Chains A and B, each alone.
Chain A
């Protein structure tokens, strides 16, 4: 498969990348791990005039302890994220969800920032970032700004990243001591999620003290299941209590219908998988 012609730029710093992006205008595309962009280019579903490759900026790949947060460079590959000790200790849900992304080859190439900026509602990591209230650091000509996950995801493939801006870092609050689970449902082992549920719980003395629930592929953006969260708080994690709370899973969703799953089936899955995710997280 042969893409349309494009110019290729590989800047060495974030500043250079922003400059290149501003210069190229709206026909530019940013290349992170390329796991979504390259297929789209090859199928000619996109024909950018310039591709700006962020692969030459090493600081975008680091993962660090930022006090009360874990800061992950936008270009950190999935493989690095899911094996990172800081991530495993403080943001276990992210590591769990990342381990379900596609296959090892994709996880070595694909990046956290690339997946989140692509904002595919079937992607696994948006629901995690949303549920865990991650912050998105975005660089532009006038410096950086920070956007909450709730504001970051706008629509299908659309985020708060503006023209001439680049996502540089994603910061996750520490959920040390929380339990979590990512429950994924797909057609084949390496396919996109038909529906998936990200769940993190803080259990105190046998009672759910706090809950964070995110849904994958149940709308045009990742969705936070606040109704489920509220119903869980104060409950002990029994099957009945969890199942009752999971009935709230479809509140505020707008499930898509496609060949794999019509909306009603997706809604049913969301409820079942929410129950399973919470019970698995509760251990």
Chain B
């Protein structure tokens, strides 16, 4: 038996640095692209530069003759014309769901869609040959604008569907019996002089997940099982869906997600490239590798958000909200992504947020366009919902002449009212909005900043101050399987775990959650160390390989801790129960008299005891154990939550707007989040920081733009403007703790909190800074130009907006004109 360190105080709550960081930060680890089995053939996808066109011919001859090329294949060459990518979240039985082929067959439906693949001895040769594939196109009308796309007589993305409307999904609280009829509420408010009706349209711009590691897949068909390595956040989903789609027995495919460099929902997919690698590897009998460039990632990996939100809120003049109507147009792009239509629908249950809203209706129209498909992106549906409700609460406050924070307070669920069943029928188990808000207000110096704002307005300062408020809650921890089933989702929401006590007392924990940067290995080790009373260092977390972790539903929707972590707890409880039996046997005591504490099984009232490591050794040798059990402590658990968890928080932003230039400066940001109990405060804070940066980026920086032809103009990180640390202030973050009552750890989830809450806080702050100049809306991202123009418009100064040439020199990559790249480049 090896020696083990003494377990010290509880690991839970300890701000440990992450055990995975040494290998990640030094680059010592292996990502998918670092894996190259002997004999690997490299795949490059030839992509359409045109959004919508008939393919009239593809001349492969020059490419086929290029050095090192094994073959150039279209869908027809691969016999893959009948294969459609999986889409697992149909909203209704009437959904119009165009089948997405692995490669465009006769028609391309978005710029970036693959039309052929080149296979070569090296990635460079594949890339060179791809330039030699000559495709001819007959352009068709691009379909870019959602409102035009749903109008009668619109150009159609898929003429066989006879419409661009994929589906209309409605949740009506009145019809569901969970609340009042919103049409009645609006009619009543309109007729009532003591009520107001506020209508606003908000736009959720298109975003790109922009994970750090580009997508990559390696498929090795040379063994008995096909082995697929992929930079995915969903190896289990990928395995099931790949085999179901391609007709391979599930037992014949092993999927490995090695260390994965971020996902943010962008790797919650089953991609054409992954399936193409399988198909081609089988055809050639050789390992096949595909790794995308950043430009390919921006162009062809699924995008996020992209909604038009028409929101109507009704309220009594005393501030009591009486109804909320939500109508969405959600851009699905050219095809329905794996979970694409489910994303806006996840928001359906969150527009009512933390408020007591008696009447509610949600109508979502999913629209097909000739753009890159949209799918999961950090927060998925909930940021959109939070943005809309928090923006319109500010608008309502202005309408009523109320302080926006006071108005929120008047309408939110008070802490005495939990558990509270909302207008959509969800039961919030716990929360304390007063506590989080009070702490945020104090840390922010809300009153002091309001005074400063007043002073600057009075002085007509060039730089005006705005205060942005956002409160939020989210349904986290996806999810109860029955609920997902009722929403039409094709799978469940449980998670699996196994705990293996090794002979030497070390512990292997297998989880079906598939971390890709979150810090699971550290947080899960802390939980297990406490549960089993073993040192943190003695716990090994195994995941991300379907051979090691055969059962799981992966990582997204802030579910890893809340569902996967609880599965681990349940498995450790079984280990302890088994160990207790063996301990009683060894100590010749009755099981009822055995106490377990900090890794020691002791006979109550005596000094006699056995460490869990000794029990593990006894179970391993099998020399002496109770007759009614097997000689093993190993245990499995599958945990299916009964409810979501509901983290919440209050975020406050102090925003300075330079009214001369329109420049927005985020001066100070305070957030107080209630994420339940916290396993590792350092990791939780990191998640909040990253989430804030991502949410602030939507408010101020990021936008995927298409030109009139349907070409994405953000082809590099020069044009797709991600903020860096230099663009963001030092955040003030804090937590308060109202433990979740829905799980034994009291945890709620933190992965999406910052992203969900921060976007409306920023935009509310920008508008608050310049509302006195007459501005009431600035579209996201609130760039300096947009803010300046909004001020000019509000002041009645017409601006002469010159046509924008998105390809003009000065517009992009070192001001390179892609159409004329000549010039002295040094």
Which A residues form the contact surface with B (CB < 8 A)? 1-2, 4-5, 29-32, 35-37, 39-40, 43-46, 103, 113-114, 117-123, 156-159, 161, 167, 185, 187-192, 194, 217, 220, 256-265, 268-269, 272-273
Contact = CB atoms under 8 A, between A and B. Distances in A.
Contact of A259 (B663, B726, B804, B826): B804
Nearest to B789: A265
Contacts of B822: 46, 157
20 contacts: A39-B716, A40-B813, A40-B814, A40-B816, A43-B716, A43-B813, A113-B826, A118-B823, A120-B814, A121-B810, A159-B824, A187-B721, A189-B727, A192-B815, A256-B810, A259-B811, A260-B811, A264-B800, A264-B802, A272-B661
A259 B807 CA distance: 9
* Dominant secondary structure at the A interface: loop
B503 interface: no
Interface in B792-807: 799-806
B127 A257 contact: no
A156 B123 contact: no
Contacts of A156: 809, 815, 817, 823
Contacts of B661: 185, 269, 272-273
Interface centre among A29, A117, A120 (most CB of B within 10 A): A120
Interface centre among A119, A167, A261 (most CB of B within 10 A): A261
Nearest to A35: B814
Nearest to A217: B810
* Dominant secondary structure at the B interface: loop
B726 A191 contact: no
Contact of A187 (B783, B788, B808): B783
A219 to B, nearest CB: 9
Interface centre among A35, A256, A259, A272 (most CB of B within 10 A): A259
Interface of B: 123-124, 127-128, 131, 293-295, 660-661, 663, 701, 705, 713, 716, 718-719, 721-724, 726-727, 783-785, 788-789, 799-806, 808-818, 821-826
Contacts of A269: 661
Contacts of A119: 823-824
Nearest to A189: B726
A117 B826 contact: yes
Contacts of A256: 805, 808-811
A165 B669 CA distance: 53
Contacts of B816: 36, 39-40, 43, 45
Contacts of B727: 188-189
Contacts of A190: 724, 726
Nearest to A261: B785
Can you list the 3 inter-chain pairs with the closest CB atoms, starting with the nearest?
A157-B823, A258-B811, A189-B726
B451 to A, nearest CB: 27
A78 to B, nearest CB: 14
A272 B662 CA distance: 11
Contacts of B701: 187-188
A161 B724 contact: no
Nearest to A271: B660
Given A118-B814, A256-B808, 13 more contacts: A1-B294, A36-B825, A103-B726, A119-B823, A120-B815, A121-B810, A156-B809, A156-B823, A157-B822, A157-B823, A187-B721, A191-B721, A257-B805
B293 A1 contact: yes
Interface centre among B294, B804, B806, B818 (most CB of A within 10 A): B804
B47 to A, nearest CB: 13
B818 A118 contact: no
A273 B804 CA distance: 22
Contacts of B716: 39, 43
Contact of A114 (B293, B812, B826): B826
A39 B821 CA distance: 12
Contacts of B821: 40, 45-46
Contacts of A5: 128
A136 to B, nearest CB: 12
Nearest to B127: A2
A188 B131 contact: no
Contacts of A35: 814
Contacts of B805: 256-258
Contact of A260 (B131, B783, B802): B783
A45 B817 CA distance: 8
B804 A262 contact: yes
Contacts of A157: 809, 815, 822-825
Contacts of B127: 2
Contacts of A259: 705, 713, 719, 804, 806, 811
A187 B293 CA distance: 24
Nearest to A262: B802
Given A185-B663, A188-B721, A191-B718, A36 B803 contact: no
Given A2-B127, A43-B813, A257-B803, A118 B785 contact: no
A117 B824 contact: yes
A158 B824 contact: yes
Contacts of B806: 258-259
A121 B783 CA distance: 22
Given A36-B814, A261-B785, A262-B785, A118 B826 contact: yes
B809 A121 contact: yes
Contacts of A117: 824, 826
A216 to B, nearest CB: 10
B796 to A, nearest CB: 16
A35 B813 CA distance: 11
A188 to B, nearest CB: 5
A158 to B, nearest CB: 6
A265 to B, nearest CB: 5
A161 B814 contact: no
B716 to A, nearest CB: 7
B545 to A, nearest CB: 29
Interface centre among A30, A36, A45, A192 (most CB of B within 10 A): A45
A1 B812 CA distance: 18
B823 A39 contact: no
Contact of B802 (A32, A43, A114, A263): A263
A2 B123 contact: yes
A121 B824 CA distance: 13
Contacts of B826: 29-32, 36-37, 113-114, 117-118, 167
Contacts of B705: 259
A209 B295 CA distance: 51
Nearest to B122: A2
B813 A122 contact: no
A187 B724 CA distance: 11
A177 to B, nearest CB: 31
A121 B823 CA distance: 12
